[in-house]
Amino acid sequence: MAPTTTMGSALYPLGEMRQSQRADGLAAVLAIGTANPPNCVTQEEFPDFYFRATNSDHLTALKDKFKRICQEMGVQRRYLHHTEEMLSAHPEFVDRDAPSLDARLDIAAEAVPELAARAAGRAIAEWGRPAADITHLVVTTNSGAHIPGVDFRLVPLLGLRPSVRRTMLHLNGCFAGCAALRLAKDLAENSRGARVLVVAAELTLMNFCGPDEGCFRTLLVQGLFGDGAAAVIVGADAERPLFEIVSAAQTIIPESDHALNMRFTERRLDGVLGRQVPGLIGDNVERCLLDMFGPLLGGGGGEWNNLFWAVHPGSSTIMDQVDAALGLEPGKLAASRRVLSDYGNMSGATVIFALDELRRQRKEAAAAGEWPELGVMMAFGPGMTVDAMLLHATSHVN
């Protein structure tokens, strides 16, 4: 028998076979689509809606504090799948101690795939090719616990091939959008011709509950988070790339595992949202970025203003921390702040909304011919985790 190596043999040249399966170029974002439920609630009216719908208007001091803080979050409006009618029909969603997870999951099982399909349909329409040309599907959500999951439901809803290669990422928190894109990059670059549909979809119904005077954290969550879905088509050697994904990385902020976590209980999706979260991000974000991308950026920090930025807007305070830690000029986080203002924090979907807003701003800026070539897309989440990618803005503006 002829000698073989890890590169194969003359008969079966594994090295060549592998090379022929890999893409030549970088994975790139080819199209983006987003969707929200129709029910829009302004931040101004939200405290009245929330305290009325949870029969809590008698908690006047708590409501006053909530009203004040709702105005500090950087949010103007949000879209919510749950309505006052739904909450009246499900008093168990309001009662903090009622075991209501089953009913929440039943609603999410229908609503999340529908919302995800709307965002994905828009991305596919913008891409301009048939849905059947999608080769891989990566779906991420914190809003469900089903097998088969949202990925499976999207196949008939979008007209994908039954042979589309599906991956479902559950419970990645607010860094899920970046994590799913990171996976899509690896898939696209390692599978010639792959066109990967990435979808992140979130419903706050999973953690909705009535107020608790002893736990202001749960109120913060009610005031900050919104519902939405975002989709991206990723491919290498591709038609009309918008942003090439130069590098993708993830890291853990040291000694931060106590600060932010989530778990399903028999009642809802619950967890810890510590007061120290914004400070931990501020104290660590530059070091994390240098570890992840410093060598690619010539080793230097302090040049952050030469980049464009799409950052998960966890809240206005978190945006302020990132601004200050990186010494960013005013307006560098404008896309992220705009998304926070118009939609709230949509957990894993938010950073893709920020990328979508960024490309809109880039299109406007392109007329003036001023736009950085490289940028960072970055999200934070439980761990605490920083998930980020270095992007290259191509000459194609859409």
Tell the smallest beta-carbon distance from residue 218 to ligand CAA (Å): 9
Under 8 Å between Cβ of 381 and 175: yes
Question: Active-site residue 174, yes or no?
Answer: yes
Percentage helix, strand, coil, to 5, in the chain? 45, 20, 35
Nearer to ligand CAA by Cβ, of 54 and 204: the residue is 204
Q: Least distance in Å: CB of 256 to ligand CAA?
A: 10
Look at residue 180 and give its three-state secondary structure: helix
Among 314, 344, 348, 375, interactor with ligand CAA by CB under 6 A: 314
State yes or no: residue 206 binds ligand CAA (CB under 6 A). Answer: no
The residue among 284, 71, 86 whose CA lies nearest residue 94 is 86
Report how many helices (DSSP H) and strands (DSSP E) the chain contains, helices first: 13, 13
HSE of 152, CA atoms in CB hemisphere, 13 A:
7
275 binds ligand CAA (CB under 6 A): yes
User: Looking at 29, 138, 154, 277, which residue binds ligand CAA (CB under 6 A)?
Assistant: 277
Q: For ligand CAA, which is the closer residue by CB, 173 or 375? A: 173
List 77, 86, 126, 216, residue binding ligand CAA (CB under 6 A): 216
Find the farthest-apart pair of alpha carbons in the chain and give their distance in angstroms, rounded.
Answer: 85
Structure tokens of 237?
């050697």
398 binds ligand CAA (CB under 6 A): no
d(CA 134, CA 154): 12
Whole-angstrom Cα Rg for the chain: 22
- Does residue 69 touch ligand CAA according to CB under 6 A? yes
DSSP of 257-312: TTTEEEEE-SS-EEEEE-TTHHHHHHHHHHHHHHHHHTGGGTT--S-GGGSEEEE-
Q: Smallest distance, Å, CB 294 to ligand CAA?
A: 22
With contacts defined by CB under 6 A, name the span among 65-73, 79-87, 117-125, 244-252 that binds ligand CAA: 65-73
Which of the following is catalytic: 40, 70, 174, 209? Answer: 174
Give the CB-nearest residue to ligand CAA: 314
The residues assigned a catalytic role are 174
Residues that bind ligand CAA (CB under 6 A): 69, 72-73, 174, 216-217, 220, 260, 273-275, 277-278, 312, 314-318, 345, 380-381
